[in-house]
């Protein structure tokens, strides 16, 4: 018997780690169908190179359609072009306070910041001092910027009122990400807006085809296979990550089967699995209360087109015996959203500042079935 840990006898991936180009955080050199967006963002910050004033830019659109990839590419090109402009990237998902963002930026500039003992204003003063000395200009990208709700969003005001020459790249799924920010922030913020449109089937086919070309040996993954994965991805909402997962798993399936080509049967075997494997794991990793919240949302939003407000969900959850307080409840909602099981957006007029509209994002039938099994 061959050793279980020997590599496959016949491979489909290039070299030893050809499959790494199918991982989510791999940034390819080219981003097909996002050339326009890249140029708009680059044009906004390019004045910095000659000491001019940049234009801030706000990117928004659905998950998995290249907003972060476009931003990272622009930052990389800027870094390669000049050392007089420093680039900083920060995801506000975990750093969702004014203090947290300021500390993170200061740390990124090389300063060691004690975990406790510095007031937010002190951190801000240190940051200004650093920014002033470190470079002539800055590009600061704040990803998932809507996470800085309410007063925490004042960090944008901190940056805008500094006399440092900086261009902000702000990113969110929510086109109304700043609704909840202080009026002072909104009035001092002006930006170019770039709405990312969802990719269609043909675009997904190009994008996934290019990633497949890099990952697989010549002839190992037929364009028809990429077509099937692109179709599945388009129909599941267009998140490129889903398509990348399918290609990776189909490739591994082919290698396990000992062939040197990814076949239609390998792909078929993984499509549903990719979606439900992710969902199953996510559901196991959450608490009983989070599952109870999910059941409540499912019951309240019988169709995906009818969202429920945070308040309604909290009320119904409590009625059914939910034990956690509102603060924890909101934390749980945020977690379910980060797992892409639920999605939320800030509600419009007439609602309290922090009210969000919640919808189910995972496939409803499957989610209901899995939650049923997990009682
Ligand atoms: N045009 C493209 N060409 C090549 N790869 C792409 C393209 N668009 C997206 N991708 C890939 O898809 C994955 C998801 O893209 P990205 O992280 O930029 O999504 P996003 O819009 O920031 O999503 P989210 O809102 O969930 O953060 C990444 O692996 C990225 O490399
Ligand atoms: Mg992103």
Whether residue 103 is contained in a domain is answered as yes
Whether residue 52 is contained in a domain is answered as yes
Whether residues 189 and 208 fall in one domain? no
What spacing in Å lies between the alpha carbon of 234 and ligand 2's midpoint? 18
Q: What is the CA radius of gyration of the chain?
A: 23
Whether residue 2 is contained in a domain is answered as no
DSSP codes of every residue in 214-237: HHBPTTSB-HHHHHHHHHHHHHTT
Whether residues 275 and 289 fall in one domain? no
Are the C-beta atoms of residues 98 and 132 closer than 8 Å to each other?
A: no
Whether residues 69 and 184 fall in one domain? yes
pLDDT in tens, 24-69: 999 999 999 999 999 999 999 999 999 999 999 999 998 899 999 9
What's the rounded mean pLDDT across residues 137-142? 97
- Domain of residue 218: give its range: 199-283
Pocket test for ligand 1, best of 22, 30, 31, 69 (most atoms within 8 A of CB): 69
Our answer on whether the CB atom of 214 is closer than 6 Å to any ligand 1 atom is no
Here the CATH number for the domain that contains residue 305 is 1.10.10.10
Specify the pLDDT at position 306: 79
Residue 351 has pLDDT above 60, yes or no: no
Whether residues 145 and 216 fall in one domain? no
Whether residues 266 and 153 fall in one domain? no
What spacing in Å lies between the alpha carbon of 60 and ligand 2's midpoint? 10
Whether residues 94 and 207 fall in one domain? no
Whether residue 127 is contained in a domain is answered as yes
Cα–Cα distance, 301 to 102 (Å, whole number): 38
Whether residue 4 is contained in a domain is answered as no
Q: Which atom of ligand 1 is nearest to the CA of 34?
A: 1
Here the CATH number for the domain that contains residue 243 is 1.10.8.60
Given CA atoms 227, 229, 232, 234 in this order, what sign does their dihedral have? negative
Output 20 or 8, whichever has higher pLDDT: 20
Residue 22 has pLDDT above 90, yes or no: yes
What spacing in Å lies between the alpha carbon of 143 and ligand 2's midpoint? 7
Our answer on whether the CB atom of 63 is closer than 6 Å to any ligand 1 atom is yes
Residue 136 has pLDDT above 80, yes or no: yes
Using the 3D structure, point to which of 224, 249, 283 is the last residue of a domain: 283
Here the CATH number for the domain that contains residue 148 is 3.40.50.300
What share of the chain has pLDDT > 90, as a percent?
69
Whether residues 275 and 357 fall in one domain? no
Specify the pLDDT at position 269: 85
Using the 3D structure, point to which of 267, 283, 299 is the last residue of a domain: 283
Q: Which of 73-77, 174-178, 254-258, 349-353 has the lowest mean pLDDT?
A: 349-353
Q: What are the C-alpha distances in Å from 128 to residues 11, 125, 133, 159?
A: 54, 5, 9, 9
Whether residues 310 and 353 fall in one domain? yes
In sequence order, the β-bridge partners of residue 170 are: 58, 142
* Helix axes of 288-300 and 310-319: crossing angle, nearest 10 degrees: 120
Our answer on whether the CB atom of 34 is closer than 6 Å to any ligand 1 atom is yes
Residue 21 has pLDDT above 90, yes or no: yes
Domain count, the chain: 3
pLDDT in tens, 201-245: 999 999 999 999 999 999 999 999 999 999 999 877 788 999 999
Res. 10 pLDDT band, cuts 50 70 90: low
pLDDT in tens, 255-305: 999 999 999 999 988 988 887 877 888 899 899 999 999 999 999 998 666
Whether residue 20 is contained in a domain is answered as no
Whether residues 204 and 153 fall in one domain? no
Residue 353 has pLDDT above 70, yes or no: no
Whether residues 307 and 339 fall in one domain? yes
Whether residue 7 is contained in a domain is answered as no
Tell me which long-range contacts 116-125 makes (C-beta under 8 A, separation of at least 24).
Answer: 123/99, 124/158
What's the rounded mean pLDDT across residues 182-203? 94
Length of the chain: 375
Cα–Cα distance, 307 to 297 (Å, whole number): 9
Whose atoms come closest to the Cα of 64: which ligand? 1
Using the 3D structure, point to which of 262, 283, 304 is the last residue of a domain: 283
Our answer on whether the CB atom of 207 is closer than 6 Å to any ligand 1 atom is yes
Cα–Cα distance, 127 to 104 (Å, whole number): 10
Specify the pLDDT at position 275: 78
Whether residues 348 and 365 fall in one domain? yes
Pocket test for ligand 1, best of 24, 32, 59, 68 (most atoms within 8 A of CB): 68
Our answer on whether the CB atom of 33 is closer than 6 Å to any ligand 1 atom is yes
Residue 73 has pLDDT above 90, yes or no: yes
Sheet harboring 356-360: ordered strands across? 308-309, 356-360, 342-346
Rounded to the nearest integer, the mean pLDDT of the chain is 91
* Residue identifier of the C-alpha nearest atom 8 of ligand 1: 66
Whether residues 212 and 154 fall in one domain? no
Specify the pLDDT at position 150: 85
What spacing in Å lies between the alpha carbon of 165 and ligand 2's midpoint? 25
Whether residue 112 is contained in a domain is answered as yes
CB within 5 A of ion ligand 2: which residues? 68
């Amino acid at each position: 018997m061959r050793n279980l840990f020997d590599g496959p006898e016949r491979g489909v991936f290039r070299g030893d780690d050809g499959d790494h180009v199918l991982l989510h955080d791999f940034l390819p050199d080219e981003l097909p169908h996002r050339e326009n967006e890249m140029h708009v963002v680059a044009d906004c910050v390019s004045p910095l190179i000659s000491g001019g004033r940049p234009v801030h830019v706000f990117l928004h659109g659905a998950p998995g359609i290249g907003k972060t990839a476009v931003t990272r590419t622009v930052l990389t090109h800027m870094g390669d072009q000049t050392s007089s402009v420093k680039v900083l990237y920060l995801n506000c998902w975990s750093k969702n306070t004014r203090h947290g963002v300021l500390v993170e930026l200061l740390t990124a500039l090389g300063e060691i910041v004690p975990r406790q003992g510095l007031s937010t204003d002190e951190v801000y003063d240190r940051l200004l001092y650093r920014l002033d000395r470190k470079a002539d200009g800055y590009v600061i990208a704040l990803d998932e910027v809507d996470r800085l709700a309410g007063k925490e969003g004042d960090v944008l005001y901190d940056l805008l009122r500094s006399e440092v020459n900086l261009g902000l790249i702000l990113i969110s799924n929510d086109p109304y990400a700043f609704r909840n920010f202080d009026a002072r922030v909104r009035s001092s913020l002006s930006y170019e807006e770039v709405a990312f449109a969802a990719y269609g089937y043909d675009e997904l086919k190009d994008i996934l085809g290019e990633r497949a070309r890099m990952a697989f040996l010549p002839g190992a993954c037929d364009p028809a296979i990429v077509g099937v994965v692109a179709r599945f991805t388009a129909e599941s909402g267009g998140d490129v990550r889903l398509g990348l997962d399918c290609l990776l798993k189909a490739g591994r399936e082919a290698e396990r089967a000992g062939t040197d080509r990814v076949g239609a049967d390998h792909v078929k075997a993984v499509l549903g699995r990719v979606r439900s494997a992710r969902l199953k794991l996510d559901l196991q990793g959450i608490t009983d209360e989070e599952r109870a919240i999910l059941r409540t949302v499912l019951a309240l939003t019988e169709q995906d087109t009818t969202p429920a407000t945070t308040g309604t969900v909290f009320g119904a959850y409590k009625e059914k015996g939910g034990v956690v307080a509102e603060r924890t409840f909101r934390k749980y909602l945020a977690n379910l959203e980060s797992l892409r099981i639920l999605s939320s957006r800030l509600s419009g007029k007439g609602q309290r500042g922090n009210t969000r509209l919640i919808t189910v994002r995972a496939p409803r039938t499957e989610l209901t079935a899995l939650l049923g099994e997990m009682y």
